[in-house]
Each structure stands twice: as C-alpha cells, then as structure tokens.
Amino acid sequence: MSNRTIYWFRNDLRLHDNEGFLKASQRPGEIIPVYVFDPRIFELSPLGFRKTGIFKTRFLLESVEDLRRSLQAKGADLLIRFGEPEKVLAELAQQYDVSEIHLSKEVAQEETDVESSLSKRLKILNVDMVFTWMATLYHVRDLPFGFNKLPNVFTDFRKSVEKNTSVRPTLAEPSALNLPEEFVPGEIPSFQTLGYEETELIQADGRGVLDFKGGETAGLQRLHAYLWETQNLATYKTTRNGLLGADYSSKFSAWLAVGCLSPRKVYEEVKRFETEIIVNDSTYWLIFELLWRDYFRFVMLRWGTRLFKPSGLKLDKDKTWKQDKALFERWTSGQTGVPFVDANMRELNATGFMSNRGRQNVASFLAHDLGIDWTWGAAYFESLLLDYDVCSNWGNWNYIAGVGNDPRENRYFNTYSQATRYDPDGAYLRHWLPELAEVPADRLNKVWQLSKSEQETYGVSLGSTYPLPIIPADKWL
C-alpha cells in the first residue's frame, strides 16, 4: 500500500500554523503539495461581472507563487493545476498512487459541494480524505456549545467563548518534506489562462490605502509592521473607522481571507504586544474583530445556504427587493449623486478595497435607500474585494440588509451624518471625487443643493460633471 499523501492547499496558503499540512507532512512516505485553480470561480456571474475579479485574482496568484517559493526553500515544491479540483485531485490520486488526501475544512456551499464530489470519486479509488479545521481563532471542537446551538446574537457568542474557551497555540512549520521522484510541478496560470481579456488587466490605483501584495511573506511583514514597527495597534480602536491611509486599521483581512495569515498567529502577536508594550481597549478590539470573523464562519456552518438567499437568515419572505439593473449599475459605478457612497464605490472599483465604515454605508444605501436586492451587492463585493471572505461577506450583508440574526431591528445608515462624522473636512471625498475638489467641506455632502452660481464658482456642473442624486437625498439633512 502506498505511503504517498496529497495535501490540497485551499484557503490556507501558508506554512506557519498550518495544522493540516503539518499533519500530512508527518506521515511516513512522500507528500505532494497541490494547489488547483478552479475555472468556475473566474467565470462571469449572471449580473455580468466576474465571480472573482482582477484584484482578488492578482492577490491569489501572488499568494500561490509565494507559497511555492516557501516550499522550494525547504527543498520541496508546489504542484499546480488548472481545472475542477474534484476531477484534478482524483486524477492525481491515481497518477501518484496516493493513499490519503489531506485538506482544510470549508463550510460554504460551493466549497462543500466540491468536497462531496471529490469524496465520491476517491471512494472508488479507495483513497481517504482527511479534514482539518483551521480557519478560525477558536477551534470548532472547543466551543462551549454544539454548533447547532450557536447563539443567535454575537454578544452572547463572544461572552460564552471568552469565558469558557482557550485559543489553541500555533504550530511550527514542517521540517522535512519528501517529494516523489516523478513530481511535476506545473506552471502558475496566466490571467489569460484564467479567462481574462487584456482590457481587464488594470493595475490598482495609486490612490489606494495600501499596496496589497499577496502571500504569507507579505502578510507576516504587514503583521510585524502594524504591531512592532509603527505600534499602531495601540490606537486601533480610535482609528479603525478611518478612510484614508495605510494605518487607520490593520488591513490583515486580505491575508486572513486566503490563509496567508493564521488568526492564531495574529492573536499570539497581539498577546505578546500586550505583554511587551501595552494592554488597552485597542489591543482587545483587534481580537474582538477576529471573534466576529469566527462568528460569521460558525453562522455559515450552522445555517448554510440561507445566507445566500434574499430572505436571509430570518427567512423573511414578505420583504420584496427590486431587481433594477440601471439603478444597480449607478451604485456599482459610483454615480449615485450621493458623494459618500460614490467615493467609496470608486475606491472599491479602482483598488479592490474599501474601509469597514464605507462597506456598511454603501450596503445600507443599496438595500434600504434603493431597495435593490442585497444579494446583488454581496455578489459585487465578492467580485471586487481582494479580501473577500465568503462567510464574513455574506454574513455582514445579511446584517445590513436586516435579514440576519441581528438584535437591532433596523441597521440603517444615514449617509449624510456618517460622512460628516467620519470625513468632516471632506478629504476622503476629494481624494476619490476630484470633480468636487473645489466644493467647501460644509457643502460637499449636500452638493445637490448648490445653486447655478455656486456650481460655476466651484467648477461643478450637476447632472454633467457630477450626477444629481438618484434618491431624494434631502431626507437625511
């Protein structure tokens, strides 16, 4: 019987604290590290945009390339293929005569459907699948309740977990990796192989908050810089609602999303920071955000496909949503005539990133002010966000749309008051809406009220150089 093992890297593109890969590498015999690019995640959605857009794709390619370099530094390599993973992995299992395929456990429908399909193919081959849970800060088996009894409210979840559960320690990288002699690594696919046209290959706008580089190396560098070089963690709670610049928030989400950073690694570094530098509300708040990330994953584990339906977790089928493509496209293109919404959407389109404050506001605007099917917005975020995480994205959209398990009756955002509170001098709006650069701060967020003479003075032509609002925006004032 063969002692060969395939390790299938998924959203765990790292060597540090990778329990699944460590266990697989410790088995006797040879190991075959594999990453499979699934063509289905790059296809066009029914709404006309790619399921995985250019920014996330570039970040993913960089992350896989970095993982390959890390494996090569240990005398190993990464086998890369392009195709449907359930088919590719079954073929590789036969080709290399493996006895087990190890992989991380996912919880959302598309990922678990692939797991089921692969399992059926491997049973015929008498190859076992070995899953490892490792996407969360707290291990699912350590929760003080069964996942089917997950609290409906985050605060109850948080209090129970903090009181009754400990975070498991991080694990070391594998030491020795033995590849089969006939190992054929394969090439990292090009954008063209993934289906991209030349016109889609845009570079991130230089006005972005950070030059996000994919990979474990870059993720660990960002962790070190935010905690130890700048010590910005010490003020995280007071700056986290910022809009401009690299350091108002940690920006760890992109590396966490594809597993270039382990949440336990982040936790341990925060705890070390508290020991060596300071303990305060800000240091706790970063761990608090990791708990939110955990909660959304456990919500997906418990309720599954309900998160993807317009009726949401509440199964609210009485609420109707408009499916107005023209209005939706005004939102996606940042042409709503509401400056705070437009600035955030233009940042997203140009860079693949948007602040947490921005995400809440544009989502509220789409769902509540326009009444557009919120799942369209969630799908657009899935395409554009380079830090897209299926559980956090769809969980957050459920909350904002009012169909999630949220104790608040209405999570509606007054975009005018939000903008004047978080961007009082208009610096963010001018950064992303240069056509409004001359408008005074006190008029920026009600630019639609400018008279003809004021428009001439400030170099704006409403309905021409900047759109009139697509809703009666005076309601916020």
Q: Which two tokens stand for residue 177?
A: 């990796």
CA 160 to CA 56: how far, in whole Å? 35
- Angle, CA 164 vertex, CA 162 and CA 168 arms, to 5°: 75
Q: Are 95 and 101 in contact (CB under 8 A)?
A: no
Q: Is 290 annotated as a binding residue?
A: yes
Lookup: tokens for 393 = 């994205």
* Positive or negative torsion for Cα 264, 265, 271, 274: negative
Contacts of 104 by beta carbon, 8 Å cutoff, 6+ apart: 10, 11, 12, 20, 131, 132, 133, 134, 135, 259
User: What does the alpha-carbon distance between residue 248 and residue 356 come to, in Å, rounded to a whole number?
Assistant: 11
Beta-carbon count within 10 A of 379 CB: 20
249 labelled ligand-binding: yes
Q: Is 251 annotated as a binding residue?
A: yes
Q: How far is the C-alpha of 449 from the C-alpha of 433, rounded, in Å? A: 17
- Cα of first residue to Cα of last residue in the chain, in angstroms, is 73
Contact 398, 312 (CB under 8 A): yes
Coil, strand or helix at 431: helix
* Residue 380, annotated as binding a ligand: no
Cβ-contact 79, 179 below 8 angstroms: no
Task: Determine whether the annotation assigns residue 388 to a binding site.
Answer: yes
Please tell me whether 166 is known to bind a ligand: no
Q: Is 346 known to sit in a ligand binding site?
A: no
Report d(CA 63, CA 259) in Å as an integer.
9
Q: In this structure, which amino acid lies at residue 142?
A: D
Residue pair 374/310 in contact by the 8 Å Cβ criterion? yes
250 is in an annotated binding site: yes
Q: What is the biggest distance separating any 2 CA atoms in the chain, rounded to whole angstroms? A: 84
Residues paired with 80 in a beta bridge: 35
385 is in an annotated binding site: no
| Residue 128 phi, psi dihedral angles, 5° rounding | -85, 150
DSSP sequence for 169-181: PP-PPPS-----T
The answer on whether 243 is annotated among ligand-binding residues is: no
Q: Binding residue per annotation — 295?
A: yes
Is 389 part of any known ligand binding site? yes
422 is in an annotated binding site: no
Check if the beta carbon of residue 385 is closer than 8 Å to that of residue 393. yes
Q: Which two tokens stand for residue 241?
A: 């609602």
Cβ–Cβ under 8 Å, residues 240 and 276 = no
Binding residues for FAD: 236, 249-253, 289-296, 387-389
Binding residues: 236, 249-253, 289-296, 387-389
